[in-house]
Amino acid sequence: MPEIVLATLNARYVHAALGLRYLLANLGDLAQGAVLREYTIARAPDAIAADLLALQPRVVGLGVYIWNVRETLAVMERLRAARPDLVIVLGGPEVSHESEAQPIVRTADYVITGPGEQAFARLCREILDGRAPPPGILAGEAPALDGLALPYDLYTDEDIAHRLLYVEASRGCPFKCEFCLSALDKTAWPFPLEPLLAALDRLHARGARRFKFVDRTFNLNARIGAGILEFFLARMDARLFVHFEIIPDHLPEALKVLIRQFPPGALQFEVGVQTFDARVQARISRKQDNARTEANLRWLRQETAAHIHADLIAGLPGEDMASFGQGFDRLVALGPQDIQVGLLKRLKGAPIARHEAAFGLEFDPDPPYVIRQTDAIPREDMARLARFARYWEVLANSGRFRHGLPLLLGDSPFDRFMAWSDWLYADLGRTWAVPLHDWFVRLDGYLREVLGLDEAVVRTALALDFQATGTLGWPAFLRPYMPGRAEDSIPT
């Protein structure tokens, strides 16, 4: 039986816990007596606790995040009841800040804040040697990256076959955007490139083809970024998919030359625009050149095959509906394939909290700590934005309504989609569990009856969209318009 179990509850099975693998890889000789267990938040706490108890460990280390803190506490309570002697160690961003007030922290023996690779190994050694320190909160320390054991060989064959593989080329962030925990970093530190590429090569040789880089600023260091892009270009095949998070206003020519060479489906960029309002940017310590951001996004869409996932945040201090809507329209005009509208969250430790009083920021006290209202956006409008975000995800980001969506958006995307969102919610009374057939029925009704668009234009567009879904059982109102002609024959 293992003496140490490292465990966490992922949001979904496809996710793999990079942090736990780092801890395991850096346990040294203790690793032979340690195992890793991953669950999802959908699994019952009783079942998770029973699985962990069956291993009979002396130490359980749990990774705690904003999406699993409640479920993890429920598991811990069951572990405590069954094994009072079990040593429970917590780590992760959710318990690394404002720790003392959290019930989950009070239920644990130890909490390691910040980077845990060295501190967790040291603590486990002390516990197993009978030299355990007094229970409490222990500060982790940032390790020298050239001395850190990389965890990528710990991805199993099942991980490679069925999950996204999380990797990183750097840690930290030099920027100070106050909604983000990375605002607490002093700078960004790159991993030595050659050992990283060697580890990625071993993964690739085992069949890995889906890589997600968790770096906040992948394109900050052009030399490192170019080396990684060259690595994947040299191993390009039809199954390769690589995801990077990039700074929107920094795209050196050396990276552009390489990005152009990737075929469709291989490269995805997450681009955090967040807000185009210069006053709000300054207020939250976000440095962003909006003109360069627009130029880079336009270049990526026009000159490359990269898939662009762009982020906007609603509820930032001082930004009202009009300002957010203007930013949304500005982003839609640049044509990213996905726009994620996210409501501001108050991450524990993030400096955004300093604006609460001055700008009337009120957050839900429970995870994920979503903004409820500000002095610029009242509660009712924030609820409307939440519905807007959900409906946009289904209607626009899904890619299912490539022909119908432009009819809905017209030349005022934010206002038109908000009106549709309000109308749809009044009709449905919910944002979830809407069958695909119902989306087509309601969009058809709205476009014809509310916007007054021509029936042939609407239904020809929706018929093309329905055909692209591959779904059987055509809605009766679309059957006369089933595509039997080229797309360019849509009436105008």
394 belongs to a structural domain: no
Amino acid making up residue 270:
E
**Containing structural domain, residue 174:** 149-377
236-286 pLDDT tens trace: 999 999 999 999 999 999 999 999 999 999 999 999 999 999 999 999 999
51 and 168 share a domain?
no
444 belongs to a structural domain: yes
419 belongs to a structural domain: yes
CA distance 248 to 303: 16
Predicted local confidence at residue 483, as pLDDT: 85
Does pLDDT of 339 surpass 70? yes
137 and 242 share a domain?
no
12-26 pLDDT tens trace: 999 999 999 999 999
Q: What percent of the chain has pLDDT over 70?
A: 98
341-398 pLDDT tens trace: 999 999 999 999 999 999 999 999 999 999 999 999 999 999 999 999 999 999 999 9
133 and 93 share a domain?
yes
CATH at 11 = 3.40.50.280
278 and 187 share a domain?
yes
User: What's the gap between Cα 464 and its chain centre?
Assistant: 31
Residue showing tokens 């050149």: 289
Number of other CB atoms surrounding residue 483 within 10 Å: 15
390 belongs to a structural domain: no
116 and 157 share a domain?
no
Q: Which of 79, 109, 143 finishes a domain?
A: 143
204 and 312 share a domain?
yes
pLDDT band at 486 (very low <50, low <70, confident <90, very high): very low
295 belongs to a structural domain: yes
164-198 pLDDT tens trace: 999 999 999 999 999 999 999 888 899 999 999 99
396 belongs to a structural domain: no
CATH at 154 = 3.80.30.20
247 and 360 share a domain?
yes
274 and 345 share a domain?
yes
112 and 170 share a domain?
no
Q: Which of 143, 159, 174 finishes a domain?
A: 143
Number of other CB atoms surrounding residue 306 within 10 Å: 23
Contact between residue 169 and residue 189 where contact means Cβ atoms under 8 Å apart: no
Amino acid making up residue 180:
C
Q: Which of 344, 377, 410 finishes a domain?
A: 377
Number of domains observed in the structure of the chain: 3
389 belongs to a structural domain: no
126 and 214 share a domain?
no
202 and 298 share a domain?
yes
184 belongs to a structural domain: yes
117 and 154 share a domain?
no
User: Nearest-CA neighbor of 300 among 288, 290, 310?
Assistant: 310
